[in-house]
Amino acid sequence: MKELCHLLKIQALKTSVYHPQTDGLVERFNRTLKGMLRKVVNREGKDWDMLLPYLLFAIREIPQSSTRFSPFELLYGRHPRGLLDILRETWEEQGVTGTNPIQYVVGIRERMARVIPLVRQHMERAQETQSHIYNQKATARQFSQGDRVMILVPTAESKLLAHWQGPYEVLEQTGPVNYRIRQPDRRKKEQIYHVNLLKPWQDREACVSQTGHAQSGPQAPEPGVAISPELTPCQVEEVNRMVERNRDVFSPVPGRTHDVFHDIVTEPGVAIRLKPYRIPEAKREAVRLEVKKMLELGVIEPSQ
């Protein structure tokens, strides 16, 4: 592959894992193709592979918004002759004008010489527009060698679900937005990640109280509030005073605030109808008990 890229003067770029925006063109094309398949596939959905040649030809003969030219025209240097073109030529009894190979090649070279500068100009303009839109909401982040970070990667149970894992160590910055991360507990010990998948690791303070069974230690402040056994007696007493000052926050009974009100503004005269969230069968009983408990405590109320 390296030799092929060298012969064709192709500059190969490596992309970072779990970041589809790095392959924006490919991912956007896949989205377009899937949308077209949904429109034309039959109800059973078993003939999608038979429709691919026709859908791909439709994509290749349509001018793109970025280049202003169709992919077919950029590859072959001429307009494609689709079914409608052939029908029109047959209806109008037009003959296909033939040219010798030399004239054909010269004509393509002249046309491509005119088209390529226009394509580059249109591409640069489209990329500047996309970059401007993206940068309006983007936040620059920078990490240094030795920093500890969390990584947003898919879980082992499902590739469609991702959560923050770590902390891991930053080895080096390999590019403007890519970092090499050391991850000793994963199959690949070192991996390059995009900065969008990283966030700084915040060390938990030692005096953080946890919800759970009370640990054996001096002066347990409140049932349900556990104190780390690694704290010193002085720190334990400080946590006890903090819990005592905020006893309403650490209460085992949830409450509700009357200081803040929130309105959900909808369009006048429009009924909002949404299907309820689906709950796994194994969790329905727990959800039912929790809802019943909140109703009894007055945290929520029935709604119609």
Q: From CA 153, how far away is CA 131, in angstroms rounded?
A: 25
Predicted TM-score (pTM) of the model is: 0.47
Domain stop point among 105, 135, 165: 135
Residue at 210 is within a domain: yes
Q: Is residue 281 domain-resident? A: no
Report d(CA 264, CA 277) in Å as an integer. 19
CA distance 171 to 147: 8
Judgement on whether residues 210 and 241 belong to the same structural domain of the protein: yes
Same structural domain, 209 and 192: no
pLDDT at site 212:
41
194-206 average pLDDT score: 76
What's the rounded Cα separation, in Å, for the pair 123 and 113?
Answer: 16
Per the structure, the count of domains in the chain is 3
Contact 49, 55 (CB under 8 A): no
User: pLDDT tens for residues 167-177?
Assistant: 899 999 988 88
Asked whether residue 14 falls in the same domain as residue 105, the answer is: yes
The CA-based angle 104-110-114, given to 5 degrees, is 140
Does residue 128 sit in the same domain as residue 210? no
Where residue 116 falls among pLDDT bands split at 50, 70, 90?
Answer: confident
Provide the domain limits for residue 155: 148-200
Contact (CB, 8 A) for 74 and 67: yes
Q: In the prediction, which pLDDT does 210 show?
A: 43
Q: Does residue 98 lie in a domain region? A: yes
CA pair distance 20, 165, nearest whole angstrom: 19
Task: Out of 200, 216, 239, pick the residue that ends a domain.
Answer: 200
Question: What is the pLDDT at residue 214?
Answer: 40
Residue 215 predicted with pLDDT over 60: no
Determine phi and psi for 141, rounding to 5 degrees.
Answer: -130, 145
266 in a structural domain = no
Q: Say what the pLDDT of residue 280 is.
A: 87
In a domain, 60, yes or no: yes
Q: Quick one: 209 and 193 in the same domain?
A: no
Q: How confident is the model at residue 6 (pLDDT cuts 50, 70, 90)?
A: very high
Same domain, 109 and 31: yes
Residue 298 domain flag? no
